[in-house]
Amino acid sequence: MEEKHGMTKVVAIIPGLAFMVLTLYILRTYVEPWMTTAVILGQKGWLVKVLHLNYILLAIIAGMLYRNLLWAGKIPAWAEEGFRTTRLFIKAGVMMLGSLYTIQSLAKVGGVAITLIMTFVFGTILFVMYYGRFQKMDRSLVGVMAAACGVCGVSAAIATTPAVRAKPADVALAIATVLGFGIASMFISPFIGHMLHLSDYQFGAWVGTGILNSGQVLATCLAYNPTIAPGTAVAYGEIWNVVRVISIPFVVFFITMWYWRAEAEAEHVTLIGIIKDKFPIFIIGFFAMTAFSSLGMLGAEGSATIQLMRTVMSWIFGLGLIGQGAYIDVRELKAAGGAPLKVGLAAGLCKYALALVVVLLFVSKEANF
């Protein structure tokens, strides 16, 4: 597709974006209220009470239906540029989420988050390295799968691929594996959370640790509790997410060193070089918002500014998740297979189940947030 610039690009964005806004408007204004009153199987609000559907899950489902049914597997040209803004929306939303915290509150739960995340990230990486070798997988692909399963799915796979000289086609299979697992866990986790009566803190800690893809952590937390405020699932889950995101350059460095250690033509990389190249800059925006919040620059809890920001965030995430859903091509996920699927599923399931056990055993219902 020809790259567009300037005003041409802005104009090209409008149709797809307008379509996403209209979809979200319909979901929030008509579909969600209807679900709370609709009587299904003799129960009022069955879709909400039993299936735990809300506008977040509906947004993802709508995106998937557009891509896979309405558009037969390909976002049409008129909507393509608009749907590409998804990444921008979610990044902006995550930056704004920084306003839910103060430096003091981050310090209170940050220690638990860092301990859990680092244990699971490096534990998963070592597991994939061992099991991948057992499955006789190519070392490059083991490196990519270790990053994808250990840190945050697609982003980590992409960051690691050039460093370990993996074949892009293999990377596509690895991505399909982690996305497939993540999508399943995105719909199953709220059920399990409600069944086990997990608090928002426990749920955020669990999915923040156990789900492979950061976008899906965000969606799952919002599916569990769509409220965006301090002390909700998304506020806790996002702390875990941010710790993971910060760890990406370190993980890439670790895997790169592991890969080149066994290669004849060793490539010289430095941690500083990787941090400069791979550090996700928008995380600085997240901490800037936390600093503003700590200094009281956004107003007190309940102020008009805070309320407005949260309303904007709920729309931003809704739009972003319609777009994320539209990037899920079921046919592409079905192509996952072979050793990457075995290794990815084993690593993903172990991480998901172990994280739940650890949270149930060691994480209290309430956080001093």
Hey, what are 82's tokens?
């608009």
61 binds other proteins (CB under 8 A): no
Geometric angle at alpha carbon 187, from 181 and 189, rounded to 5°: 85
Identify the CA nearest to 17 among candidates 75, 69, 114, 84: 84
175 part of the interface to other proteins, by CB under 8 A: yes
Measured torsion, CA atoms of residues 64, 351, 247, 359, in degrees rounded to the nearest 10: 100
Query: In the beta sheet, which residues pair with residue 39?
Result: 44
To other proteins, the closest distance from the beta carbon of 137 in angstroms equals 17
Q: How many chain residues touch other proteins (CB under 8 A)?
A: 46
Q: How far apart are CA 37 and CA 52, in angstroms?
A: 14
Q: Does 250 bind other proteins (CB under 8 A)?
A: no
**Could you say whether residue 168 binds other proteins (CB under 8 A)?**
yes
From the list 70, 30, 251, the residue with the least C-alpha distance to 152 is 251
Nearer to other proteins, 92 or 125 (CB): 92
The correct pick among 65, 70, 103, 335 for binding other proteins (CB under 8 A) is 335
Q: How far is the CB of 163 from other proteins (least distance, A)?
A: 9
Interface stretch with other proteins, choices 11-19, 21-29, 69-77, 95-103 (CB under 8 A) = 69-77
The CB-of-261 to other proteins minimum distance in angstroms stands at 21
Q: Which stretch binds other proteins (CB under 8 A): 207-215, 227-235, 310-318, 360-368?
A: 207-215
User: Among 187, 236, 327, 369, which residue interacts with other proteins (rule: CB under 8 A)?
Assistant: 327
Residue with tokens 């910060």: 246
Determine the interface stretch with other proteins among 40-48, 87-95, 227-235, 357-365 (rule: CB under 8 A).
87-95
Q: Considering beta carbons, is residue 91 or 139 the nearer one to other proteins? A: 91
Query: Is there binding between residue 4 and other proteins (CB under 8 A)?
Result: no
- At position 218, the amino acid (one-letter code) is L
> Using CB under 8 A, which residues numbered 255 to 284 contact other proteins?
276-281
Q: How far is the CB of 168 from other proteins (least distance, A)?
A: 4
Residue 138 within binding range of other proteins, rule CB under 8 A: no
- Classify the phi-psi angles of 4: left when phi > 0, otherwise alpha if psi is within -120 to 50, otherwise beta: beta
Question: For residues 256 and 359, what is the distance between their CA atoms, to the nearest angstrom?
Answer: 31
Nearest Cα residue to 57 out of 265, 224, 303? 224
Do residues 152 and 283 make contact, with C-beta atoms less than 8 angstroms apart? no
Block residue for tokens 């998937």: 64
Closest of 164, 129, 125, 120 to residue 148, by C-alpha:
125
Q: How far apart are CA 36 and CA 44, in angstroms?
A: 7
Q: Which stretch binds other proteins (CB under 8 A): 113-121, 158-166, 184-192, 341-349?
A: 158-166
* Spatial distance between the Cα atoms of 190 and 51, rounded to a whole number of angstroms: 9
Residue 205 CA to residue 236 CA, distance in Å, equals 7
Q: Binding of other proteins at residue 20 (CB under 8 A)?
A: no
162 binding other proteins? (CB under 8 A): yes
Tokens of 280: 């996700």
- Pick from 23, 99, 213, 232: which binds other proteins (CB under 8 A)? 213
Closest to other proteins by CB, 12 vs 159, is: 159
Give the interface with other proteins as residue ranges (CB under 8 A): 1, 73-75, 80, 83-84, 86-87, 90-91, 152-155, 158-159, 161-162, 167-169, 172-173, 175-176, 179, 213-215, 245, 248, 276-281, 320, 323-324, 327, 329, 331-332, 335
